[in-house]
Amino acid sequence: MDEGLKKRLIGAAVLASLAVIFIPMLFEEPPSQPPPLPPLPQKPPVQDFASAMLREEVPVVTPLAPAKSPPNLPPASPPSKPPVQSVAPREPALVRAEPIKARTGLTAWVVQAASLSSRESADRLVAKLRQAKLPTPDPELVEIRGKRYFRVRVGPVIERAEAEGLLDKVSSIAGAKAQVRQYP
Q: Where are the domains of the chain?
A: 114-184
pLDDT-above-90 percentage for the chain: 23
- Residue range 100-158, pLDDT digits in tens: 555 556 788 999 999 898 999 999 999 999 999 888 899 989 888 889 999 999 988 88
Confidence of residue 24 (pLDDT cuts 50, 70, 90): confident
pTM above 0.85, yes or no: no
Q: Which helix (H) or strand (E) holds 22?
A: helix 3-27
CA distance 18 to 26: 13
CATH code for the structural domain at 114-184: 3.30.70
